[in-house]
């Protein structure tokens, strides 16, 4: 027999299959484990997940062999407890619970007191000597069973109970007598007959099969399917069923039930944490009908609460429970979340599992447990979810503060921010200069908004996805951002906006939560990040155990400094076009772009050169001794063309051209598909002087810093959007020439590399040839995803969520690398590049460089480093360590 497993009593020794979560589910495996080490677990049996799959495959038919197996297992439970299932004199009652390998809300949870009927309820009353308890249990059973197995609205039962209470002037359930419950049971049965067209099933065996059927069916419920989709859980795992002898926490004042954590799940503090209720059954604790009490005396005193803690009210049961907490923690070497029941003074454990925890608690638990010798460093590293670190690096909203949620957009850049609504970048700057906190609200952002984004404490856009301009820039700057909040509509004239059906105006305060995309009215209290000891200790361990290096995507001195504080080991991508977003410079860039000839472009470039040089000097100073990948200009042209009248006039004043001339030129440059247009190295091929001047600025800055500090930076000059070897060759000549002439002029030389981004499918395919020229590759997986999938990174948000909901993509491919598709191009390019140039340096600088699943792929592919925005650097360090363990 290998699909029904017994536990408790003299059940045969548990085998490996029974302790395998994929076979018996999380709950079943842990019950077997606890029983096998002699802990007080009520006897029962687990039906394996594969029976669920067989049942569903056969259109809701149980496998014929299952009946016999379950009969035998039930006999084991009857023998152990000394009661008979359906025995009218002294009945065995059971609980039936689902339990998949991964715990999953959305599935049928629990039916308690199964086995009760009109006859056995009398037996239970006799045997327990408590008539009220027996009838209370029966009415609970009818309600639960009708709800989860028969699908009858539980509100109908609650209504009947409320009416009984009202008619009798009762306040609490505890005031109902045995006779009151008896009357109510009759009403409940009537509800079932009316709603179900059949009387409430009286045969315990029929009840049991009904419950098993409900558990199996719930695996395929819509709710469960949606949950699996959202959490990337395979649909072919099935759920196990746990049938277990009932123990009763509602047998008077020496009985109780509760839920506990072995440590505080929100702080990680080493203190038992939990709730309990005297004379109650499991669902009373969770349902919120009665207020649960504190478990420990210390917690009760701390809260200034009156009702006695379990430690005080039931010292013996509590002492045993505390002993079991320690034992279970040592056994599982992790914080446990435990359900228990005390029946007339005797303690029983109903469930244990690794407890869910906050990021802060996860860090503290991992570090403390290494200190206690419970786990080793590697285990500690694997215990912390890298993405959870995000919660620690940004201010977060106080979880206890009330929230008036207006709408929910995409969680584009983490952190929480409150401030006054401003509708344009200039106002943002103006108000922020006078000391106000502002949230910049735009339909979408563009490079002209940069100063406003800088000035704002947070950014909210109505359009744009997770890699939209607003999202990328906000993440880079560490500004919280909610993007694609499509319910936001802005009326510029009146300086007002509507969010859903709420009217707001410029100056009103809102709060955004970049961690979940919520937009809230008013100010919601925040908590400052606290990078205390545990964070530092865990990151140190991560650094010790990782192979890949971690660099940052950054282009300002501030971001570089912050990234270094977060542990960046160089720059993986400095987007030079971002350095021109600044209001004073954008006009020069526009002059350069709109110029008709080389002479016009050179005039603008001459003015840009010193500014570029001084930017690079600052960056090299912060990154002294570390590699810095500087990417030459890659501007989708539309981002830099002037738009409104004011911008054209400003430009006309600066250049001496007329507004009409400029408009005509802008019209000529207009592109229908700018992402595939005149950008990247195509600009350097057609206007080599642009790259020449940029290269000059890089080498002049490098020489200046080398002379001043004695330590030379190592610039890695990176060419974007290369598709062919010849493009790279032509541009490398320009860069090398600039280097030579700077070195001669400066009387100094620095080491440098010239390499390319691999961000077009052709470049990946031709990597062998391209590596003949390129000294390093950096995978630009944003564009590589866009071009491989043929999905626009700026427009995808509109339909990608549907794609994820329908399971077409497990996750947004712009957030987590499409390993199956785009990943192949990365591996292939790495392989071909190395074949040509064995020591070629390989990195990734697309947004995926900060995503743990993508980082695991990079480790497998053998990349040398990943590069991520500053706030993602710690995440990448931890994920890289996990990937190499």
The residues annotated with a catalytic role in the active site are 469, 845
In terms of Cα–Cα distance, which of 111, 138, 112 is closest to 124? 138
What is the footprint of ligand PEP within residues 818-877 (CB under 6 A)?
Answer: 845-846
Please state the φ and ψ torsions of residue 841, each to the nearest 5 degrees: -85, 130
Q: Which does 573 bind (CB under 5 to 8 A by kind): Mg ion, ligand PEP, none?
A: ligand PEP
- One DSSP character per residue, 259-306 reads EEESS-TTT--SS-EEEEEES--HHHHHH-SSPPEESSHHHHHHHT--
User: What are the structure tokens assigned to 322, written together?
Assistant: 């505390």
- One DSSP character per residue, 181-234 reads HHHHHHHHHHHHHHHHSSPPP--HHHHHHHHHHHHHHHHTSHHHHHHHHHTT--
User: What are the structure tokens assigned to 427, written together?
Assistant: 């106002």
Residues in contact with ligand PEP, shown as a per-residue x/- string from 628 to 647 under the rule CB under 6 A: ------x-------------
Nearest residue (beta carbon) to Mg ion: 783
Q: Which is nearer to Mg ion, 380 or 722 (CB)?
A: 722
Q: Which is nearer to ligand PEP, 123 or 846 (CB)?
A: 846
Piece of the chain touching ligand PEP by CB under 6 A; list 101-109, 351-359, 411-419, 774-782: 774-782
Q: How far is the CB of 857 from ligand PEP (least distance, A)?
A: 15
The residues, any chain, with a CB within 8 Å of residue 765's CB and separated by 6 or more, are 825, 828, 829
Structural contact between residues 533 and 366, judged by C-beta atoms closer than 8 angstroms = no
Residue 255 contacts ligand PEP per CB under 6 A: no
Three-state DSSP class for 311? helix
Q: Which does 575 bind (CB under 5 to 8 A by kind): ligand PEP, Mg ion, none?
A: ligand PEP
Q: How many CB atoms lie within 10 A of CB 333?
A: 15
Q: How far is the CB of 778 from ligand PEP (least distance, A)?
A: 8
User: What are the structure tokens assigned to 805, written together?
Assistant: 């909901």
Residue 755 contacts ligand PEP per CB under 6 A: no
Please state the φ and ψ torsions of residue 275, each to the nearest 5 degrees: -140, 150
Residue 783 contacts Mg ion per CB under 5 A: yes
Among 390, 559, 759, 818, binds ligand PEP (CB under 6 A): 759
Q: How far is Cα 215 from Cα 111, in angstroms, rounded to an integer?
A: 10
Please state the φ and ψ torsions of residue 4, each to the nearest 5 degrees: -125, 120
What is the footprint of Mg ion within residues 745-764 (CB under 5 A)?
Answer: 759
Residues in contact with ligand PEP, shown as a per-residue x/- string from 586 to 625 under the rule CB under 6 A: ----------------------------------------
- One DSSP character per residue, 822-884 reads HHHHHHHHHHHHHHH-TT-EEEE-SGGGG-HHHHHHHHHHT-SEEEE-GGGHHHHHHHHHHHH
Which DSSP helix (H) or strand (E) runs through 583?
A: helix 583-594
Residue 571 contacts ligand PEP per CB under 6 A: no
- Degrees, nearest 5: CA angle 154-344-294: 70
Q: Which does 846 bind (CB under 5 to 8 A by kind): Mg ion, ligand PEP, none?
A: ligand PEP
Q: Which is nearer to Mg ion, 51 or 759 (CB)?
A: 759
Q: How far is the CB of 804 from ligand PEP (least distance, A)?
A: 20
Q: How far is the CB of 582 from ligand PEP (least distance, A)?
A: 17
Q: Which does 592 bind (CB under 5 to 8 A by kind): Mg ion, ligand PEP, none?
A: none
Among 782, 787, 816, 882, binds ligand PEP (CB under 6 A): 782
Per residue, the 3-state secondary structure of 550-562, as one string, reads EEEECCCHHHHHH
Which residue reads 């993509």 in tokens? 809
Q: Which does 781 bind (CB under 5 to 8 A by kind): Mg ion, ligand PEP, none?
A: ligand PEP
Q: Which does 250 bind (CB under 5 to 8 A by kind): Mg ion, ligand PEP, none?
A: none
Residue 329 contacts Mg ion per CB under 5 A: no
Q: Which is nearer to Mg ion, 484 or 780 (CB)?
A: 780
Residue 577 contacts Mg ion per CB under 5 A: no
Structural contact between residues 728 and 765, judged by C-beta atoms closer than 8 angstroms = no
Among 91, 355, 713, 780, binds Mg ion (CB under 5 A): 780
Number of residues that bind ligand PEP (CB under 6 A): 10
What is the footprint of Mg ion within residues 76-115 (CB under 5 A)?
Answer: none
Residue 783 contacts ligand PEP per CB under 6 A: yes
Cα diameter, the chain: 104
Q: Which is nearer to ligand PEP, 93 or 858 (CB)?
A: 858
Q: How far is Cα 688 from Cα 749, in angstroms, rounded to an integer?
A: 23
Piece of the chain touching ligand PEP by CB under 6 A; list 511-519, 648-656, 693-701, 781-789: 781-789
Contact residues for Mg ion (CB under 5 A)? 759, 780, 783
Contact residues for ligand PEP (CB under 6 A)? 573, 575, 634, 759, 780-783, 845-846
């Amino acid at each position: 027999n290998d699909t029904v497993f017994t536990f408790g009593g003299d059940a045969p020794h548990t085998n490996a299959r029974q302790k395998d979560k994929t076979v018996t589910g999380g709950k079943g495996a842990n019950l077997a484990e606890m029983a096998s080490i002699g802990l007080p677990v009520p006897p029962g049996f687990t039906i394996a997940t594969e029976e669920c799959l067989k049942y569903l495959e056969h259109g809701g038919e149980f496998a014929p062999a299952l009946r016999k197996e379950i009969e035998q297992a039930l006999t084991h439970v009857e023998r152990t407890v000394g009661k008979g299932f359906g025995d009218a004199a002294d009945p065995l009652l059971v609980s039936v619970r689902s339990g998949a390998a991964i715990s999953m809300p959305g599935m049928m949870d629990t039916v308690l007191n199964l086995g009760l009927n009109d006859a056995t309820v009398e037996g239970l009353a006799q045997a327990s000597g408590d008539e009220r308890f027996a009838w209370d249990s029966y009415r609970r059973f009818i309600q639960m069973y009708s709800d989860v197995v028969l699908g009858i609205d539980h509100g109908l039962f609650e209504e009947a109970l409320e009416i009984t209470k009202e008619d009798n002037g009762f306040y609490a359930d505890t005031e109902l007598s045995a006779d009151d419950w008896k009357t109510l049971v009759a009403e409940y049965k009537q509800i079932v007959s009316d709603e179900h067209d059949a009387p409430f099933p009286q045969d315990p065996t029929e009840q049991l099969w009904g419950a098993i059927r409900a558990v199996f069916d719930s695996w395929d419920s819509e709710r469960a399917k949606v949950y699996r989709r959202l959490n990337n859980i395979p649909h072919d795992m099935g759920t196990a069923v746990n049938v277990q002898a009932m123990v009763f926490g509602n047998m008077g004042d020496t009985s109780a039930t509760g839920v506990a954590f072995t440590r505080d799940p929100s702080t990680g503090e080493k203190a038992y944490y939990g709730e309990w209720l005297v004379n109650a059954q499991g669902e009373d604790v969770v349902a919120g009908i009665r207020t649960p009490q504190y478990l420990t005396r210390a917690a009760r005193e701390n809260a200034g609460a009156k009702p006695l803690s379990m430690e005080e009210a039931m010292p013996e049961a509590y002492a045993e429970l505390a002993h079991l907490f320690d034992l279970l923690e040592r056994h599982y070497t992790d914080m446990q979340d435990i359900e228990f029941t005390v029946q007339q003074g005797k303690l029983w454990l109903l469930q244990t599992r690794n407890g869910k925890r906050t990021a802060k608690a996860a860090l503290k638990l991992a570090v403390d447990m290494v200190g206690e010798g419970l786990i080793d460093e590697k285990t500690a590293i694997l215990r912390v979810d890298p993405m959870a670190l995000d919660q620690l690096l940004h201010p977060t909203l106080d979880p206890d503060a009330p929230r008036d949620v207006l709408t929910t957009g995409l969680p584009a850049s983490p952190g929480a921010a409150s401030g006054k609504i401003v509708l344009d970048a200039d106002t943002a700057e103006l108000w922020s200069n006078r000391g106000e906190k502002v949230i910049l609200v735009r339909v979408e952002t563009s490079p002209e908004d940069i100063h406003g984004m800088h000035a704002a404490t947070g950014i909210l856009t109505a359009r744009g996805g997770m890699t939209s301009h607003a999202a990328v820039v906000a993440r880079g700057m560490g500004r919280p951002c909610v993007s694609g909040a499509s319910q936001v509509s802005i009326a510029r004239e009146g300086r007002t906006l509507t969010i859903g059906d709420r009217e707001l105006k410029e100056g009103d305060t809102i709060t955004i939560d970049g961690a979940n995309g919520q937009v809230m009215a008013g100010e919601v209290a925040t908590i400052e990040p606290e990078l205390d000891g545990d964070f530092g200790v865990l990151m140190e361990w991560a650094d010790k155990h990782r192979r890949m290096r971690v660099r940052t995507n950054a282009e300002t001195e501030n971001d570089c400094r912050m990234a270094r504080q977060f542990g960046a080991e160089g720059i993986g991508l400095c987007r030079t076009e971002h350095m021109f977003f600044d209001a004073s410079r954008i006009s020069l860039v526009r002059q350069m772009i709109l110029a008709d000839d080389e002479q016009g472009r050179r005039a603008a470039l001459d003015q840009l050169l010193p500014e570029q040089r001084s930017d690079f000097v600052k960056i090299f100073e912060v990154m002294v001794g570390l590699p810095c990948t500087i990417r030459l200009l890659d501007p989708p042209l539309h981002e830099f063309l002037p738009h409104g009248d004011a911008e054209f006039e400003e430009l006309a004043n600066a250049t001496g051209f007329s507004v009409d001339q400029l408009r005509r030129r802008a019209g000529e440059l207009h592109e229908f598909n700018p992402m595939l247009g005149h950008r990247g190295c195509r600009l350097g091929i057609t206007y080599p002087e642009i790259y020449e001047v940029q290269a000059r600025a890089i080498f002049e800055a490098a020489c200046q810093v080398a002379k001043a500090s004695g330590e030379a930076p190592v610039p890695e000059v990176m060419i974007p959007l290369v598709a062919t070897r010849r493009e790279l060759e032509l541009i490398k000549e320009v860069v090398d020439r600039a280097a030579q002439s700077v070195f001669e002029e400066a009387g100094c030389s620095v080491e440098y590399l010239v390499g390319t981004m691999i961000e077009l499918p052709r470049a990946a395919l031709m990597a062998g040839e391209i590596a003949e020229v390129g000294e390093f590759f950096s995978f630009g997986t944003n564009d590589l995803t866009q071009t491989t999938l043929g999905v626009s990174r700026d427009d995808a948000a509109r339909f990608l969520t549907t794609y994820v909901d329908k399971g077409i993509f497990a996750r947004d491919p712009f957030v987590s690398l499409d390993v199956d598709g785009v990943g192949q191009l990365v591996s292939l390019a790495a392989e071909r590049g190395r074949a040509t140039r064995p020591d070629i340096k390989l990195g990734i600088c697309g947004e995926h460089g900060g995503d743990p699943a993508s980082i695991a792929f990079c480790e497998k592919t053998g990349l040398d480093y990943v590069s991520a925005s500053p706030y993602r650097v710690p995440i990448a360090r931890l994920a890289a360590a996990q990937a190499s363990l």
